[in-house]
Amino acid sequence: MPLNRACLGKRYSAEPAAITLEALQKYARAYNDPNPRFFDPATPGGIVAPPMFAVVVTWLPVLSAMTDPELHADLLRLLHSAQDMEFLAPLHPGDLITAASTVASIESAAGGETMALSLEAQNQLGQTVNRTTFTVFIRGRRDTGAPTESRAPAAARAPRPLLVVAQTIDPDQTFRYAEASGDRNPIHVDHNVAKMAGLPGIIVHGLCTMAFTSKVMIDNLCAGDPTRLKRLGVRFSRPVFPGDTIATTVWPAGTRAGRHTFTYETCNAEGLAVIRDGIAEVDA
């Protein structure tokens, strides 16, 4: 059954939720990030949440949309295809966050349909702290993969990358990330369900892989200061599996609205892209 286009513009909200120190630190540990800004109150500026913790405070409105019986989204055929996040203000322990999602688009695509949700989160002061576009691909009943995407020509990039960083996914990464993020989709934690969905086994959450790349940007482009990361956007092009080693390659891409801009790609050990069209924007 196709997605219900009558749901375009439908909004899903959640009750305000308080950010706890335990929750933000659990999230940082879920993607192996020991940054002192997440753990040490003596750090200048005090403790802040990882930028990607915004996925936690916006998860309930996402889940409400995806499980809306009127929308007709088949979760076993759903692939998270892209995520674009703007970090407008840091999240702190004790902040009270109100989040909502809106069905922004539903479009036909080769082999299925795509849908984008627009997410927004505000703190207790009414300040917008995060805006996100969350995009999914719903496979058709005879299709087993994501839609084919064109790649930017290599000549558009600098001839030499600024940096290349390798990271290894732990065997239990998906279980820790599921608990910390609230995303307990069984394709990430149950081998049988993953195989029912046409996968070879459990796969790593796309947002967990993206969180790994956020660490690359913060450590290497932001001098370890997570509040300097202002935007992170990716397309998920291939599954990552527990135990995989991934390598993120970053190229400089000038400035945009007073921010340093970088493009990046993340590949598995075979050199195949798992994240493409990556973009990071950093405060000067």
The string of pLDDT tens digits covering residues 97-123 is 999 999 999 999 998 999 999 999 999
DSSP of 137-199: EEE-TT--SPPP-----GGGS-SS-SEEEEEE--TTHHHHHHHHHS---GGGT-HHHHHHTT-
Cα gap 150→267, rounded to integer Å: 16
Name the pTM for this structure: 0.92
Question: Domain holding 200: CATH number?
Answer: 3.10.129.10
| Helix (H) / strand (E) containing 208 | helix 206-221
Tell whether 146 is covered by a domain. no
Whether 76 contacts 122, CB under 8 Å: no
Whether 47 contacts 91, CB under 8 Å: no
The mean per-residue pLDDT over the stretch 201-221 comes to 97
Whether 187 contacts 202, CB under 8 Å: yes
How many domains in the chain? Answer: 1
Tell whether 83 is covered by a domain. yes
pLDDT of 159? 72
What band does 75 get if pLDDT is binned at 50, 70 and 90?
Answer: confident
Q: What domain range is 21 assigned to? A: 5-141+151-283
The string of pLDDT tens digits covering residues 120-137 is 999 999 999 999 999 999
pLDDT at 157 over 70: no
Cα gap 81→220, rounded to integer Å: 26
What band does 76 get if pLDDT is binned at 50, 70 and 90?
Answer: confident
Contacts of 142 (CB under 8 A, 6+ apart): none
Cα gap 87→225, rounded to integer Å: 13
The mean per-residue pLDDT over the stretch 81-101 comes to 98
The string of pLDDT tens digits covering residues 229-280 is 999 999 999 999 999 999 999 999 999 888 999 999 999 999 999 999 999 9
Tell whether 47 is covered by a domain. yes
How crowded is the C-beta side of 26, counted as CA atoms within 13 Å?
15
pLDDT at 33 over 80: yes
Tell whether 73 is covered by a domain. yes
pLDDT of 137? 94
DSSP designation for 146: P
What band does 8 get if pLDDT is binned at 50, 70 and 90?
Answer: very high
Tell whether 46 is covered by a domain. yes
pLDDT at 148 over 80: no
What band does 145 get if pLDDT is binned at 50, 70 and 90?
Answer: very low
Cα gap 72→174, rounded to integer Å: 26
